[in-house]
Amino acid sequence: MQKKLSELQVGQKAIIVSLEDEELVLKLLEMGFIPGEDITMEQIAPLGDPVSVNIAGYQVSLRINEAETIMVEI
């Protein structure tokens, strides 16, 4: 089942499927958001923005609008 990264709950794991925003693709790829990588939602700020994920052993924080452009498979 595919979802946006922003829709995952804390502790939920997924695999990155695609990056949907052409303007952010290069930035996200440089940060390690490569299709096929495992990703885990680690924290969601009290107001929902930002979110923190674990990817390739690194903690990365994203704005919610960036997380909405990353499609994952659960």
Q: Read off the pLDDT of residues 42-66 as tens digits, 9 standing for 90 and up.
A: 999 999 899 999 999 999 999 999 9
Number of domains in the chain: 1
| CA 8 to each of CA 30, 51, 62: distance values in angstroms, whole numbers, following the listed order | 22, 10, 13
Domain span at 38:
2-73
Overall pTM surpassing 0.75 (yes/no): yes
Half-sphere exposure of 16 (CA within 13 A, CB side): 24
| String of DSSP letters for 22-58 | TTTHHHHHHTT--TT-EEEEEEE-TTS-SEEEEETTE
CATH of the domain at 26: 2.30.30.90
What's the token pair of residue 45? 């700020």
pLDDT at residue 61, as a whole number: 96
